[in-house]
Amino acid sequence: MLNFKTGTLVSAIAGILMGMTAASGSAWADDVTLSFLVDNAPSTVATAEALAAAFEAKNPGVNVEVESRPGGGDGDNIIKTRLATGEMTDVFMYNSGSLFQAINPVQNLVPLDDLSNFGNVLDSFKSVVTGTDGKVYGVPFGTAMGGGILYNKKIYAELGLSVPKSWAEFMANNEKVKAAGKAAVIQTFGDTWTSQLFVLGDFFNVQKAVPSFAADYTAGKAKYASTPAAMKGFERQEEVFKAGYLNEDFAAATFTDGVQKVATGEGAHYPMLTFAVSNIKELAPDNLGDVGFFAIPGDDAASNGLTTWMPGGFYIPKTTKHLEEAKAFANFIATTEACDVQTAAAGAAGPYLVKDCTLPSDVPPVVSDMLPYFQTEGATAPALEFLSPIKGPALEQITVEVGSGIRAAADGAALYDEDVKKQAQQLGLPGW
């Protein structure tokens, strides 16, 4: 488990909120402890601890204990196993979109449509946590994100580089960084989930080239290996490896290593989701202003745009023994007050999906660099996992192999098509 210091922050937030809101909260007849499972990223745990403290301050008699789990495939398996065995915590945070569909929400989760604050949740988020029965099962935990390239602004200034709008420009920048003796592209395959960004973050470019890809992919008509635009994510991951642009410890480095490397200038580029800005704040706060962000470039600089991710969801399993208190916690999270707590705990990594939540004016460069994509018509596209229920569980292992030179890009794409087929059949989708 990762170690980090959140106690002072949590105590401060709890103290502030106790004075403002305890009088308006509910007092439960008996002391109740809610267990709350989240992934082990430092920013996630800091946010969960702060939300727990704020909720406790409003609700005397309720205690919230935060537990953490690994990210990536290991974390997916823990979620599925605990739901299947009836051993899930009272509340938990997990992905929205295709991974949400894979945990069978209708069978395993409690609908949240009846929360008094449910109307605060934006429709764009409701759409990615809706079950096959039409009911909504989650409220947003965190902010919307972009998937692209974190870059070190000091290295760019030293080498006279400009933010690339095309893949050719990006590779030219990488060559200059390599020539200067630095790692051009940071990879962190010690945490296998981090290996997927070149493929998943390229979906804006895929959709631009093949607008029907998501629908055809879901119907079993389009494949990665036979769609040149979709293949490029695998090919580009292979390309940066073959060019010798990676950090020497790419096979063993972890996500936290990657965050620190790009923040401190050990490397120039780190393909990642923008939620990592919160981890920069936690792990390298003095370098928060040294990291910027841009979308993964495609072939054409004129059609540059960003692949976006919805935040994870806050869910309640049907096995909870404290349903009333769990729903009260979910109801609190769907408020502007909870957004402010999250911002204070870990910073805002993008726009919130709760009505009237705002961002501070002094957001870090990663966030300010991302927002123009959201504010420009046609400059964003949701990641494929929010347009299709299909996401094969082995992608992170396949992209590690492609990104390490173990497997060719074409073979990786074909293998992923087989992995996807298994999941589509498990979901009972037509055409598979």
* Together in a domain, 201 and 342: no
Identify whether 140 is part of a domain.
Answer: yes
Residues 294, 401 share a domain? yes
Q: Are residues 119 and 235 in the same domain?
A: no
Distance of CA 181 to the CA centre of its chain: 31
Beta carbons of 345 and 138 less than 8 angstroms apart: no
Do 64 and 39 have their domain in common?
Answer: yes
**CATH number of the domain within which 69 lies:** 3.40.190.10
Whether 67 and 80 have beta carbons less than 8 Å apart is answered as no
Per-residue model confidence as pLDDT tens for the chain (432 residues): 233 333 334 444 444 444 333 333 455 667 999 999 999 998 899 999 999 999 999 999 999 999 999 998 899 999 999 999 999 999 999 999 999 999 999 999 999 999 999 999 999 899 999 999 999 999 999 999 999 999 999 999 999 999 999 999 999 999 999 999 999 999 999 999 999 999 999 999 999 999 999 999 999 999 999 999 999 999 999 999 999 999 999 999 999 999 999 999 999 999 999 999 989 998 999 999 999 999 999 999 999 999 999 999 999 999 999 999 999 999 999 999 999 999 999 888 889 999 999 999 889 999 999 999 988 889 999 999 999 999 989 999 999 999 999 999 999 999 999 999 988 998 899 999
Q: Please indicate, yes or no, if residue 249 is contained in any of the structural domains.
A: yes
Q: Are residues 211 and 263 in the same domain?
A: yes
Say if residue 53 is in the same domain as residue 113. Answer: yes
**Token pair of 249 as six digits:** 């410890």
What is the C-alpha separation between 233 and 239, in angstroms, rounded? 10
* Number of structural domains the chain divides into: 2
Q: Is residue 1 part of a domain?
A: no
Check the CA dihedral 67-70-74-76 and report its sign: positive
Same domain, 135 and 150: no
Residue 360 lies inside a defined structural domain of this protein: no
Tokens 């936690």, located at residue:
282
Same domain, 214 and 109: no
Asked whether residue 229 is assigned to any structural domain, the reply reads yes
Same domain, 94 and 236: no
The number of beta carbons lying within 10 Å of the beta carbon of residue 226 is: 11
Q: What pLDDT does 348 receive?
A: 83
3-state SS class at 304: coil
Compute the 3-state secondary structure of the chain and give helix, strand, coil in percent, each to the nearest 5. Answer: 50, 15, 35
Over the chain, what is the mean pLDDT? Answer: 92
Query: Do residues 127 and 153 both lie within one domain?
Result: no
In this structure, is residue 102 part of a structural domain? yes
416 with 328, same domain?
no
Asked if residues 177 and 273 have their Cβ atoms less than 8 Å apart, the reply is no
CB 148 within 8 A of CB 201: yes
- Indicate whether 13 belongs to any domain: yes
The widest CA-to-CA distance across the chain, in whole angstroms, is 67
Q: What is the Cα–Cα distance from 263 to 305, expressed in whole angstroms?
A: 24
pLDDT digits (tens, 9 = 90+) for 214-251: 999 999 999 999 999 999 999 999 999 999 999 999 99
pLDDT score of 26: 55
Do 50 and 124 share a structural domain?
yes
Of 346, 363, 395, the one marking the end of a domain is 346
Structural domain boundaries enclosing 133 = 7-144+310-346
